[in-house]
């Protein structure tokens, strides 16, 4: 099957169910684990926003004009504490209202170790799965992306905000007590939380002490002892036996490939 791919669609089940979009088609990837897979890059990239051909992909699938003009590619998406919507300088105010001025959750996840992160409510549990988390727990609900960024800045003084993707792909993370970590962080950050509640209103910075932890299992038959990253830009043909899927990575016996990185790439996908 030949077409432009996007990041895999996911469904929380035991294990996670994955589908690979190829143009308008969806390939059920779980059923192909244990079989051979071949991804042949056709030398063409189409922007996932406007569809135009681009020689290089920016921000996981955009052409350069979209990269510099779309709000979804702005630096504040990576660093939400720098949100400038209220300053009137958002690239796309309507997009900002729909995506940033919406309830967000601050959460703890365990992928390569405990980390703090943020996501819109509509992206739970997709965000956790895309990061390869084996455990996840919402700890605060806030009214906007900006507020979630400010809270994350306070919490990441005590816990990492990053995932070691190589460690994540080497095996399941050691189970941790996220509820105990939530309570500990709430105590450590109580001063900053009170300041944010005073600034934005207590109803907009809500602590979630009763949320239940979510456990996530992935369709992996075997984890690699050594993680070798496969790069379609350097070697346009990737093939091997599909031995698992975790996060947005296909795990082959020949290496691992981050499918999300190649959104918009035109591939010939052959699954046996």
Question: For the chain, what is the total number of helices (H) and then of strands (E)?
Answer: 8, 14
| CA distance between the termini of the chain | 12
Give how far Cα 104 sits from Cα of 140, 143, 151, Å: 8, 6, 11
| 170-224 per-position pLDDT tens digit | 998 999 999 999 999 999 999 999 999 999 999 999 999 999 999 999 999 999 9
Are 102 and 141 in contact, with CB atoms under 8 Å apart?
no
Query: Does 272 score more than 90 pLDDT?
Result: no
Query: Which letter does DSSP use for residue 5 in this model?
Result: B
Q: Residue 106 has what pLDDT? A: 98
Token couple for 106: 């601050």
**CA atoms of 196 and 202, how far apart (whole Å):** 8
Query: Which letter does DSSP use for residue 35 in this model?
Result: S
The whole-model pTM stands at 0.94
Long-range contacts of 75-78 (CB under 8 A, 24+ apart): 76/100
Q: How wide is the angle at C-alpha 240 spanned by C-alphas 239 and 243, nearest 5°?
A: 130
| 15-53 per-position pLDDT tens digit | 999 999 999 999 999 999 999 999 999 999 999 999 999
pLDDT class of 85 with cuts at 50, 70, 90 = confident
Residue with tokens 């919402």: 138
Segments in the chain forming alpha helices (H): 64-69, 75-78, 93-99, 126-130, 145-155, 165-168, 178-188, 190-200
| 229-266 per-position pLDDT tens digit | 999 999 999 999 999 999 999 999 999 999 999 999 99
Residue with tokens 């035109």: 266
Q: Residue 86 has what pLDDT? A: 86
Q: Cis (ω within 30 of 0) for the bond into 125?
A: yes
**CA atoms of 77 and 195, how far apart (whole Å):** 23
Residue with tokens 């091997």: 240
């Amino acid at each position: 099957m030949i077409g432009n791919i996007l990041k895999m669609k996911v469904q929380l089940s035991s294990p996670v169910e994955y589908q690979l979009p190829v143009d308008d088609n969806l390939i059920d990837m779980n059923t192909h684990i244990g079989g051979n897979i071949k991804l042949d890059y056709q030398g063409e990239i189409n922007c996932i926003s406007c569809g135009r051909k681009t020689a290089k992909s920016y921000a996981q699938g955009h052409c350069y004009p979209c990269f510099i003009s779309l709000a979804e590619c702005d630096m504040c998406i990576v660093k939400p504490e720098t949100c400038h919507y209220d300053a009137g300088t958002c690239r796309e105010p309507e997009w900002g209202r729909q995506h940033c001025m919406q309830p967000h959750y601050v959460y703890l996840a365990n992928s390569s170790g405990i980390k703090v992160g943020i996501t819109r409510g509509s992206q739970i549990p997709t965000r956790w799965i895309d990061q390869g988390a084996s455990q996840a727990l919402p700890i605060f609900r806030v009214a906007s992306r900006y507020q979630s960024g400010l809270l994350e800045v306070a919490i990441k003084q005590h816990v990492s905000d990053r995932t070691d993707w190589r460690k994540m792909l080497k095996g399941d993370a050691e189970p941790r007590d996220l509820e105990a970590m939530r309570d500990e962080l709430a105590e450590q950050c109580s001063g900053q939380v009170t300041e944010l509640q005073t600034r934005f209103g207590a109803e907009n910075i809500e602590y979630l002490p009763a949320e239940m932890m979510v456990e996530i299992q992935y369709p992996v038959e075997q984890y690699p002892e050594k993680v070798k990253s496969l790069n379609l830009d350097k070697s346009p043909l990737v093939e091997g036996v599909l031995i698992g899927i975790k996060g947005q990575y296909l795990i082959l016996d020949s290496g691992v490939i981050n499918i999300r990185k190649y959104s918009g790439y035109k591939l010939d996908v052959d699954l046996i």
